Every structure is written in C-alpha cells, then in structure tokens.
Amino acid sequence: MQYRTSLHLLLVVFSLPCTLAEPPEWEASKSDKPVKVFILAGQSNMEGRGFPEPLAWQVTQDEFRSRYTHFIRDGDFEAFNAKVKETTDENNRRSPPTYLWSKRKDVWINYLGKHGDLTVGYGAPREGFGPEFNFGHVVGDYYDEQVLIIKTSWGGRALARGFLPPSSMASNEEYQRQTDAFNAEVEEWNKAEPARIEAYNKRVTEQNRTREKKRPLRTFKPKDTVTLEEYKLQFGKDYRNMVNEVHTCLAEIKDRFPGYRGQGYEIAGFVWFQGWNDQYNDRWLSYEANLANLMRDVRAEFKAPDMSIVVGQMGQDGMKVDKKDSPRDFIKKAQASVPVSDEFKANAVCVHTDQYWDKHADAIYRGPGGWSKDVARWRQHGNDHPYHYYGSPWCFAQIGTAFGEAMVKLNKAQD
C-alpha cells in the first residue's frame, strides 16, 4: 500500500476531519488495487439523524464553523450561506433550502436504493446524514484505493429479532413463546369483545359521514392469528436483507458506480451501531450471545475471517451513569465486552459514543421549560429526541469520525 505522507493529510487521518482547514480536491482514486468495501449496519442512529438545519446555522457562527469545513462545497461558507438564505421559504418548512454540500469522488456510498459519491444526504431525515459521512472522510484519507461504503440500516430493529443472525436461530425460544402469547391475546379479543367492536364501528362509520376532506377514522376488524412459520419469518429478516443488499450492490458495482474500472473489491470492515430496541421484552438477556454470533456470521458470510469490526456502544444521555443492571446497562456492557473477548480482540473494538453527546443541544432540550419554550434556539443545535442523539449534526459527525479512526487503527495493525 502506498501511504500519503504529507503532514496535512496525516493530520486529517489522525485528528477530527471536521477541523479541516481547506478541503482537498477529492477526485476519484487512480489506484488499480481492489476497492475497499465497508459495511455499516444497525438501526435508526446508523440510518443517521444528523439534521442539516442546525448545521446550516452553525456554519454561520465562528464558534462552530471549523467543525464543518469539509461538509461545504469548496469550503466556501459565504456561497453556502448565501444559497441557503436565497432558497429558504419561511412559509413552507416542508420545502428545504438548497445546500451546497461537498462531494468526495474517491469514496462511494450505497444506501438502500440511493448511491453515488459521498456527500450529505444519505441519512434518515431528508438531506440529513449519519456516521457514514465522517467515517467516509477518515477512511478515504487513509486509503489510496477507492472506497465503497454500503449502509444497510432500518429504524426500530432489534438484534434479537429483525437482525437475529443465523447462528442464534437454533437456540432462540422467542418464536413459540411470543406466537402463543400473541394468538391467545387475539383469541380473547375476538371472543370477548364483538359487541364493543360493533358499537365502536357503528359510531366511527357515522362520524366518517360528517368528516370533510379528512382522513377517515379507522374501524376495528377482527384480528388474525399467525402461524409459527409466519411468525418465524420476522426473525432474521433484517439480517437477510442486509446480506442481500451487500451482495446485490457488489454484483451491480459497475452499474451503480460508473467509475468502477474492474479493479475488484475487498470487504475491509463492518461497523455495527444499534441497541435501543433490545431493551424491551427481555431481549437484552441474549444480546451478548447474539452480538458474538452476528460478528461470526458476518465474517463467514463474506468469507472474511479476519475482517475488522467496530461496535458502536449506545450513548444516549451522554455520560450519565445508567442504572445498574438495567436493560441499557446490560446491553452496553455486552457491546463493550464482546470485542475484547479472546475470540475477537485482535481485530474488533468498541467505540463509546456517550462521549460525543452534544452538550449544547442537551442544555436546551432539558433546560427550564424544555426545548419547546424556544423552538428557534433549539433548532440551532438539534431537532429530535435523546434516543436519536437530539438529531445533532455535531454528535453524528464526531461518532462517524470515531468509527473511522477505530477502523483505520484496526486495519493498519493488519497491513
């Protein structure tokens, strides 16, 4: 591997890329070596809740501007701010302004039907971003090879259910237990409540006749039972979709990325950022075993036994100490312990995301009267709730940087 050795780029790799002073011209890589592929998976915070509105305000402020130089096309804050001001419609908040984001051609990204050069806009909110943006900048600065990020994430998913890996299927007992409980509840409802259902539906039907240009109220219908086989299909569905998305993207790499020159590819790393939905229904009890199985199964699926793996530990509420032996405490301890176990410690690491909690957003959200007392001020730093890290662009930028630096460190040790 040919390493870039200029002082400027070394500083970019080993410090926060969001402190870049002057963004370089990010042209497509000229290396003929295989494309470095990174898989980013998880639930809503891997989707990315970095909202562009707070970022657009922060780049107008000297205190925050240097965080985001590499986000802005050509690093031109004046042009960026002028375009936002020119295209902001105060009377139509649903129509976003035009943002002049930078694009990085030596890093490609694929995210569930959308693909292209790395830029802002591959997150869950419209025009938003997640950890992938700064992650891409860190690994892009490290590698001479072309980089491809394949992000596969869906909100509200549990490792013990949607992302349940194949190795956990055989020992999973939730199938029958949950199916029996669900069907018992359905049977009780359908037998005991027909008169109430009929009365309710009659009232709703009458109300719908008098509602003008509004969505009709829903009527109740008898619930259906599900078979064990139907219920089982919900387990591992997101794992299977993740695997399928990666294989499909790589099979169509030339069509999705016209700059691909047939140089081949190498799956160089996997990043996992998830945990919230496993706090419920006793799922946390199996988190440690499921996470270890996930790491094994992903390596086996992509025939990369030594693939570097970064696990993003849950960081909601920042450095606040979790209640001992609570579900969240249990999950966070599992996320920290699996990567340092004897099996994985050579090429896996846990990144503690609580250290990147946005204190400005937190102070406003939890301040006197809460965020709703001054919505305009709140949207200068966030636009979501704590479980989504407040939608803070600074938080997601820092998390992406930390994931990238952890991945670089792991891969450098194996080069």
pLDDT in tens, 190-249: 665 667 777 777 777 777 777 665 667 666 666 666 676 777 788 999 999 999 999 999
| Maximum separation of any 2 CA atoms in the chain, in Å | 77
Torsion 182-183-185-186 (CA) sign: positive
150 and 270 both lie in a single domain: yes
Per DSSP, helices labelled H in 59-173 are: 77-87, 132-142, 166-169
Mean pLDDT (whole number) for 370-378: 91
Beta strand 114-118 with 104-111 is antiparallel
Q: Does residue 268 share a domain with residue 143? A: yes
pLDDT at 369: 86
| Domain C-terminal end among 206, 229, 252 | 229
Asked whether the predicted pLDDT for residue 323 surpasses 60, the reply is yes
391: Cβ contacts below 8 Å, ≥ 6 apart: 49, 50, 51, 54, 125, 128, 382, 383, 384
Residues 6+ positions from 134 with CB-CB distance below 8 Å: 16, 17, 18, 396, 397, 398, 399, 400, 401, 403, 404
Question: Residue 9: its pLDDT value, please?
Answer: 36
Q: Is residue 235 part of a domain?
A: no
Percent of the chain with pLDDT over 70: 84
Q: What is the pTM of this model?
A: 0.85
Q: Domain residues for 184?
A: 175-229
Structural domain tally of the chain?
Answer: 2
User: Residue 201 domain-assigned?
Assistant: yes
401 and 278 both lie in a single domain: yes
Mean pLDDT of the chain: 88
Q: Are residues 81 and 140 in the same domain?
A: yes
**Which residues, including other chains, have CB under 8 Å from residue 201's CB and lie 6 or more apart?**
219, 220
pLDDT of residue 92: 73
CATH of the domain at 90: 3.40.50.1110
Looking at the structure, tell me whether residues 270 and 315 fall in a common domain: yes
* Better-predicted residue by pLDDT, 330 or 171: 330
Which residues lie below 8 Å from residue 80, measured CB to CB, with a gap of 6+?
A: 56, 59, 72, 73, 99, 100
pLDDT mean over 155-171? 91
User: Is residue 134 situated within a structural domain?
Assistant: yes
| Residue 167 domain-assigned (yes or no) | no
**Does 261 lie in the same domain as 396?**
yes
For residue 1, being part of any structural domain is answered with no
| The pLDDT of residue 20 | 43
332 DSSP β-pair partners = none
Proportion of the chain in helix, strand, coil states, percent, rounded to 5: 50, 15, 40
CA–CA dist 126, 138 (Å, integer)? 24
The pLDDT tens digits of the residues spanning 253-262 come to 999 999 999 9
Q: Considering only 23-37, 64-78, 191-205, 342-356, which range has the smallest mean pLDDT?
A: 191-205
pLDDT of residue 126: 75
Q: Quick one: pLDDT at residue 217?
A: 66
Do 76 and 198 lie in one domain? The reply is no
pLDDT digits (tens, 9 = 90+) for 246-305: 999 999 999 999 999 999 999 999 999 999 999 998 899 999 999 999 999 999 999 999
Whether residue 239 lies inside any domain: the answer is no
Residue ending a domain, among 201, 229, 257, is 229
C-beta of residue 70 within 8 angstroms of C-beta of residue 23:
yes
Residue 238 lies in a domain: no
Q: Which residues of 389-405 are buried (b: 16+ CB within 10 A; e: fewer)?
A: bbbbbbbbbbbbbbbbb
Is 164 domain-assigned?
Answer: no
In this structure, the answer to whether residues 29 and 91 fall within a common structural domain is yes
One domain, residues 222 and 250: no
Among the candidates 229, 253, 269, a domain finishes at 229
Same domain flag for 208 and 313: no
* 195, 154: one domain: no
Is the pLDDT at 391 greater than 70? The verdict is: yes
Instruction: Tell me whether strands 114-118 and 147-153 are parallel, antiparallel or unpaired.
Output: unpaired
Asked whether 149 and 108 are in contact (CB, 8 A), the reply is yes
Asked if 45 and 82 sit in the same domain, the reply is: yes
